[in-house]
Every structure is written in C-alpha cells, then in structure tokens.
Amino acid sequence: MQTASELPRPLRRPRRLRRNQTIRSMLRETRLTPDRLVLPLFIIDGDNRSEAITSMPGHARESIDNVIKRCREARSLGVNAFALFPAIDPALKSPEAQEAVNPENLLCRAVRAIKECIADAYLVTDIALDPYSSMGHDGLVSPSGEILNDETVDILAQMGVLHAKCGADMVAPSDMMDGRIGAIRAALDSAGSTDTAILSYTAKYASAFYGPFREALDSAPVHADNIPGDKKTYQMDPANAREATIEAILDVAEGADILMVKPALPYLDIIGRLRRETDLPVAAYHVSGEYAMVKAAAKMGWLDERACMTESLTGIARAGADTIFTYAAMEYARWYGDSHS
Ligand code: PBG
C-alpha cells in the first residue's frame, strides 16, 4: 500500500480557503440576518398575563399588552415580523369554530392593538380552524369524521378578509385544504384587500414535531368516536417529496405570494426542491419541536445552544429558505448583534 507521501501531491487543496477567519468570512455563502426571521407569538386574553409554555422555554402565552412589549423588544433587536397564534378560551371553542370569524375575537383584537401601538410591525396571521375548534382540527369535521374541504375553505376565506380588515399585512393559511389559496385571494380582492399578501403553507407535513405548539394552544386533535386523532388526511405524508411540487404548482396558480415548507430541518430537501422549482420566495417554519429539542439538550448540558441553533437556522437558509419562522428569532438576533458589534 502507498502511504500519503508517496501519492501524487493534490493540485487542489480546499483547505487553503479555510485557513483563517478572514478567508472563511470572505467566502461564506450564507449570511442570515435577523431581518429574515419571523417570530411566532402566542396570545391569551386578559391583562398583564404571562403563562410559561413548559416545552418551549423562553416562550409564553401572553396577554396583548405583554405581546406588544415583546414586539418592541424584538424590533429593537432587528426582528420586525410576527406570526400571531391565539390561545382561545376553551369555552369559546366549538365544533363549527364560529369564533374564528368573530370580529371581536382575540386574534382580531390583538392585530388591531399591535398596529395601533406599532404601526409598522409586520403581522402575519394564521388561517386555520384548529385554535377555535373543539375538535382540534384545521377544518370542519362531518358527523362521520371526515374533514370537510370546501365548507372549510369558505370559512377560511372569511377569516382572511377579517384579518386583513383588522390590519394583518400577510395571511398564512396553515390548514392544507385544497383550493384555499385561490378562494382566499378572490375573497381578499373582492373585499378591496388587494395588498394583503398570502403566505401559503404549501408543503406542511403531518409531523410529530408540532407537539409543543399544540401544548401552547391546547389544540391537539381530539381523538373520540368518529373524530380522527391525527391530521393525516390533509397534512402531507413525511415520506413524500414529489407531492410538494404538486402543491407548489397549485399554490402558484392560485396566487400565493410565498411558499412555505414545514417543518424545516427534516425537510431541507423539500426547501431545496421548491427553491429550484419556483421563483417565488420560499419560507421555512423551524417548528416548536425543532426548537424544543435544542433547548432541552442545552439544558442538560449536552449541546451548545447558541452554536446548534445558529447551525440549524443557517442550514435552513442554505437549503434555500428566504425567510424562517423560528421561536429562536430573538436569541438569534441577540447573538448576531453580539458578534457584529
Ligand atoms: C395549525 C398549526 C400548527 C402549527 C402551526 N399552525 C400545528 C398543527 O398543524 O397541528 C405548528 C407550529 C409549530 O409546531 O411550531 N394550523
């Protein structure tokens, strides 16, 4: 066997370009600035309330006044876009999820209040029935336990119009019903909200990584009688990639402004796929379970939180995400500020 010193000397030595911080920084391909992040926030009714979410350290369900403080803090760090999720009082949840279209519901009040205090906070609202449904499903459930598509889409379109009227800059349907992007776009346009953008959850998978989020909203699907205990008849099968292309083609045709992949890390190939297959901006949702994993391991002393969170978010951006929804937005913005001051 030849030893390394007997082999021909390599002509190309990629290590030349890794020799010191200056050259590494000069050639870095991906730079993730905090202005590309969207911070999800959980809202509850009341004044000056904050309820910790145990599986999401650093996040809480907060009343509108405290959410406004959070937005101010995030903006001071360079994060100016927020995805709002209301934790609806269980007494207001119903099988038909009527609270979703109540103009005085928690989400509507939150959007108006935030816009009143911080006019240029960029607000993204979630369109789906699960926070309002006593069954925890994103759509209406028929007596035989089917998640009804077209009937749900009618309500989603009404929600979109309502959110836009309250001041939402962007509506984000996370429900995975067929045809909802076209229906929401048409409803927004006929209501005069032509400037309200639609971020479609294009490839949203039936993932087990949503666990902490469902704890935060107490929105896990209820498994009883005929009601399915999972979302597999509408969210995508984690094993499928080509199906993401089909969803993307439909969303583009129906008028989506941004296509999202969710979750992010187990689906980097899907992010890359949509990046190559469309010229629309691609978003990724670094979901609650992805955040919780790093937080929990860091708490045990098993992982370095800053390094692992930064590597996760950089990897998602490298795969092709223009914007990332992440619960770590504020931490990341602080670390970014520390290393760039
Ligand atoms: C539901 C919705 C979910 C998330 C965002 N919107 C959960 C679900 O589909 O059950 C999950 C986000 C996260 O885990 O961070 N419309």
Q: Where does the pLDDT of residue 1 fall: very low under 50, low under 70, confident under 90, or very high at 90 and above? A: low
Which is nearest to 312 in space by CA: 286, 276, 333? 286
Strand pairing class (323-326; 37-44): parallel
Asked if the model's pLDDT at residue 4 lies above 80, the reply is no
pLDDT at 52 over 90: yes
| pTM, full prediction | 0.96
Paired tokens of 89: 């009082």
H helix runs in 143-287, sequence order: 149-166, 180-190, 211-217, 242-254, 268-277
Q: What is the pLDDT of residues 254-271, one digit of tens each?
A: 999 999 999 999 999 999
> 159: Cβ–Cβ under 8 A, 6 or more apart, which residues?
100, 101, 127, 171
Centre of ligand 1 from the C-alpha of residue 229, in Å: 15
pLDDT band at 313 (very low <50, low <70, confident <90, very high): very high
State which ligand 1 atom lies nearest to the alpha carbon of 288. 15
Cα 37 → chain centroid: 10
Residues 58-68, mean pLDDT to the nearest whole number = 98
Q: How distant, in Å, are the alpha carbons of 130, 137, 160, 244, 248 from that of 174?
A: 10, 11, 12, 14, 14
- Ligand 1 pocket, 128 CB below 6 A? yes
247-266 in b/e form (b: 16+ CB < 10 A) is bbebbbebebbbbbbbbbbe
Measure 120 CA to ligand 1 centroid, in angstroms. 26
Domain 31-339 is found in CATH 3.20.20.70: yes
Residue closest by Cα to atom 7 of ligand 1: 210
| Ligand 1 atom at minimum distance from 291 CA | 15
pLDDT at 68 over 70: yes
Determine the Cα–Cα distance for residues 341 and 327; give it in Å rounded to an integer: 23
Say what percent of the chain tops pLDDT 70. Answer: 100
